[in-house]
Amino acid sequence: MKAVFKKHTFNFMLPAGTSRGILHTKDSWFLTLFNEDENLSGTGECSIIQGLSPDFTDEISYEKKLNEVIEKLKGLALADFFLHLKGDAFSPIGNAFLSDLDPWPSIRFGLECALFDLNNKGCGTIFYNAFSRGESSIPINGLVWMGTKEFMLEQIEQKLAAGYKTIKLKIGAIDFNTELGLIKGIRQKYSADDITIRVDANGAFDELSVYKVLKELKRCDVHSIEQPVSPIKLSLLKDLAKENIVPIALDESLIGHSLSSDKSALLEEIKPQYIVLKPSLHGGIAGTAEWIRLADKQAIGWWITSALEGSIGLSAIAQFTGNYSINLPQGLGTGGIFSNNLPSKLVVKQGQLIMTI
């Protein structure tokens, strides 16, 4: 099997503020597999976020790993990955090749998607389901990036005007009282029955501040808070989930757990109300499917979101999400935050993600 990769640097239309800093660009690597006998190809996106992706330290070592993957693929055929499907894991298996990539979740995700795309004749269809056929839609939240009060308020008004029923606000970078004022402003106009508010702290708060933050958010009927404190604060996260002042959603805490036993133990230990899944960070397609199975087993809610992928990665994640019965709005989109994104079949109408045919 022949394979090549190509780096693509996405440019944000507007600076993207998070508690880890402001992003102006974001890198991905497109991994393309070729079936030269049939003149077909399949492409997946290896998406990383510097400072967060567990498999990225620098470009040199990352591309070295990609080259190693390409070299090993030369001795394999597409059929080696599709000997059978592992239950509802939605992941091609047949050898230990993909399992060896568990420490490299972004590369595993890109390779899985490229394999599925090639297996489906390179038409961009990763999974065949009602969503990929354009017969159903996926409810999504509208993301509000951190920034000045005026900038965040402008984004909120745009999302509400566009028909979103769930708003997700990044918090923890500017003064919390300012952020709280924005949330109170929404609640003055819209009840929790009208608009659901989620917040994502990216671990911004500590033990001294988090309880006050949660009590204020509870007064505003906030649905949930993603990663209120650092992933290493396991005992604190467990206490917060048990007290359930505001439902706790784990995100960064899931990174680095590849063994099923480790995943199950983490969920059993903390008992969060929700988990937030990013295939590029949390084990690719197979790893994400496993997180979902384990969460369902423990009655933990979940939703899938992106790790700032472009249109290729987002399309794959959305199609993967379409394999499930969706109970909660997902954290997906079209990649419209980038000025140089590739063409996409994804569109958003009234807070619903749709794939055009």
Residues recognised as catalytic: 170, 278
- Residue of 175, 183, 186 whose CA lies nearest to 148: 175
Report whether 256 contacts 267 (CB < 8 A).
Answer: no
Report whether 117 contacts 126 (CB < 8 A).
Answer: yes
Tokens of 297: 């087993």
Residue type, 254: L
Report the alpha-carbon distance of residue 110 to residue 129 in Å, rounded.
20
Instruction: Determine the 3-state secondary structure of 16 from DSSP.
Output: strand
Residue burial 236-267, b: 16+ Cβ < 10 Å; e: rest:
bbeebbeeebbbbbbbbbbbbbbeeeebbebb
β-bridge partners, 28? 8, 47
- Residue of 324, 321, 322, 316 whose CA lies nearest to 344: 316
Report the alpha-carbon distance of residue 274 to residue 296 in Å, rounded.
10
User: Strands 346-349, 352-355: parallel, antiparallel or unpaired by DSSP?
Assistant: antiparallel
Measured CA to CA in angstroms, residue 50 lies from 27, 68, 305, 348, 356 at distances of: 9, 21, 17, 28, 32
Residue burial 282-311, b: 16+ Cβ < 10 Å; e: rest:
bbbbbbbbbbbebbeeeebbbbbbbbbbbb
Instruction: Determine the 3-state secondary structure of 1 from DSSP.
Output: coil
Residue type, 158: Q
At 282, phi and psi to the nearest 5?
A: -115, 35
